[in-house]
């Protein structure tokens, strides 16, 4: 601080070199912890760096190294809490490194989607990107990113890619366990509010539901399935359809928490109560699960840890295969489930 002028971090490697009486290359060696350096010299240089508050210019470094330290996050996820948790997980990984997180919400319905993403990656020369579902399920998009020479990791609910490019939760197994729980409580008519066609997560969760029913030898005609778009209203409508059927379910598994909240409204609108008349289970364990009434039984997946793992794969691609790729889920029982009335 002594010499002032460190406002805006304006000092450069040349200033350090001059003040320390060494060449800029030597300063560079200090910064990069080169081992072939006399300890006396190193300490002298480090003292000057601390004194004037020198911080290397990342743009200059990026230019010289022909790479940079920006991680991109591409998403079009309706669930804000999950996206933000993911961002925090990435931060856990890059804190105290020189990496930074650049975000890019996109619109998956836009015809310019691919152009948009291509521009994003090319323009910023990203080191790597993380792709959140449902975009992560798009193989064409992954191919685009790969061809751009950009590292990438896809977040998914199924084995979409090899483990170096994937961080996965096992939705099918998780739903299986949740529905098993309903069966153990005595439910025999368990409806499914499925996610939208084309979503891999929707498929996996539906199969998990099927697995559980099949294992218990329970009928599961198609009248017990209604689909939504992972939104509140669609969940309400889908549940209303199930409840209006000839043989209404005593329990409903909704493929995410938001639709579960919608299902809860649908039950109430028919003058019924949760859980006494209808039990409900959601998926995700987002903030809404604990804040609606009654608190929602759901499945939590460790998104923050998964995000950290994804970021580490990009930062250390060589050790990527060793980073954990398949993460376990946790069943979270709350008040929205009880035994069936009969």
Partner DNA sequence: ACGCTTTAGGAAACCGGTGTCAATCTTGCC
Partner DNA sequence: GGCAAGATTGACACCGGTTTCCTAAAGCGT
Q: Which residues bind a copy of itself (CB under 8 A)?
A: 7-10, 55, 57-60, 62-63, 68, 70, 80-81, 83-85, 87-88, 91, 95, 98, 100-105, 116, 120, 122-125, 147-150, 232, 258, 261-262, 264-265, 268, 287-288, 290-293
* Residue closer to DNA (CB basis): 6 or 163: 6
Question: 11 to 30, contacts with DNA by CB under 7 A?
Answer: 12-14, 21-29
Dist CA 164 CA 170 (whole Å) = 17
Is the Cβ–Cβ distance between 195 and 228 less than 8 Å?
yes
Report the alpha-carbon distance of residue 180 to residue 216 in Å, rounded. Answer: 8
- The rounded distance, in Å, linking the Cα atoms of 13 and 164 is 37
Complex with a copy of itself: residue 126 or 213, whichever CB lies closer: 126
Draw the binding track, 59-98, toward DNA (x: CB under 7 A; -: no contact). -xx-xxxx--------------------------------
Residue 317: Cβ within 10 Å count:
16
Residue 181's φ and ψ, nearest 5 degrees, are -60, -45
Buried/exposed code over 59-69 (b: 16+ C-beta within 10 A; e: otherwise): eebbeeeeebb
Query: Nearer Cβ to DNA, position 61 or 268?
Result: 61
Give which of a copy of itself, DNA, none residue 216 binds (C-beta under 5 to 8 Å, depending on kind).
none
Residue 103's Cβ-count burial label (10 Å; 0-12, 13-18, 19+) is middle
**Partner whose binding site includes residue 148, from a copy of itself, DNA, none (CB under 5 to 8 Å by kind):** a copy of itself
Among residues 113 and 216, whose Cβ is nearest to a copy of itself? 113
Q: Give the DSSP letter of residue 297.
A: B
Taking alpha carbons only, the member of 91, 77, 181 closest to residue 132 is: 77
Residue of the chain from 6, 18, 37, 218 that contacts DNA (CB under 7 A): 37
Shortest Cβ distance from residue 307 to a copy of itself (Å)? 12
Measured from the CB of residue 61, what is the shortest distance to a copy of itself in angstroms?
8
**Shortest reach from residue 79's CB to DNA, in Å:** 38
How distant is the alpha carbon of residue 145 from its chain centre?
Answer: 18
- From residue 65, alpha-carbon distances to 58, 102, 316, 338 in Å are 10, 20, 16, 60
Shortest approach of DNA to residue 314 CB, angstroms? Answer: 19
Alpha-carbon distance 307 to 327, whole Å? 11
# residues contacting DNA (CB under 7 A): 30
Closest residue by Cα to residue 264 from 291, 293, 241, 244: 293
246 binds, options DNA, a copy of itself, none, Cβ within 5 to 8 A by partner type: none
Find the shortest distance in angstroms from Cβ 45 to DNA. Answer: 9
Q: Which does 222 bind (CB under 5 to 8 A by kind): a copy of itself, DNA, none?
A: none
Q: Which is nearer to DNA, 56 or 196 (CB)?
A: 56
Q: Which does 101 bind (CB under 5 to 8 A by kind): a copy of itself, DNA, none?
A: a copy of itself
How far apart are CB 148 and DNA at their closest, in Å?
15
- 146: tokens are 């790969």
CA–CA gap between residue 171 and residue 158 (Å, rounded): 7
């Amino acid at each position: 601080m002594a010499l002032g002028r460190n406002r805006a971090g304006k000092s450069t490697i040349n200033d350090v070199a001059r003040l320390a009486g060494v060449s800029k290359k030597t300063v560079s060696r200090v910064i990069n912890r080169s081992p072939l350096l006399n300890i006396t010299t190193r300490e002298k240089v480090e003292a000057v760096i601390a004194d004037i508050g020198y911080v290397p210019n990342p743009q200059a470094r990026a230019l010289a190294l022909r790479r940079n330290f920006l991680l991109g996050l591409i998403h079009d996820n309706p669930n804000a809490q999950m996206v933000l948790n993911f961002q925090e997980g990435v931060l856990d990984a890059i804190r105290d490194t020189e990496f930074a997180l650049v975000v890019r919400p996109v619109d998956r319905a836009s015809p310019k989607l691919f152009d948009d993403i291509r521009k994003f990656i090319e323009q910023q020369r990203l080191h790597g990107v993380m792709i959140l579902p449902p975009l992560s399920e798009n193989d064409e998009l992954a191919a685009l990113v790969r061809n751009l020479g950009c590292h990438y990791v896809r977040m998914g609910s199924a084995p979409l890619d090899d483990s170096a490019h994937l961080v996965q939760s096992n939705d099918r197994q998780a739903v299986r366990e949740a529905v098993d729980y309903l069966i153990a409580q005595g439910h025999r008519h368990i409806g499914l509010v499925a996610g939208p066609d084309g979503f891999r997560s929707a498929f996996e969760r539906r199969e998990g539901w099927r697995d559980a029913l099949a294992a218990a030898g329970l009928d599961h005609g198609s009248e017990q399935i209604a689909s939504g778009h992972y939104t509140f209203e669609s969940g309400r409508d889908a549940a209303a359809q199930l409840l209006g059927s000839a043989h209404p379910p005593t329990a409903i598994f909704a493929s995410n928490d938001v639709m579960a909240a919608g299902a809860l409204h649908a039950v109430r609108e028919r003058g019924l109560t949760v859980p006494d008349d209808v039990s409900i289970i959601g998926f995700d364990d987002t903030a809404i699960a604990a804040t609606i009434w009654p608190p929602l039984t759901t499945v939590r997946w460790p998104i923050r840890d998964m995000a950290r793992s994804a970021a580490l794969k990009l930062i250390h691609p060589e050790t990527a295969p060793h980073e954990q790729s398949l993460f376990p889920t946790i069943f979270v029982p709350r008040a929205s489930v009880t035994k069936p009335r009969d």
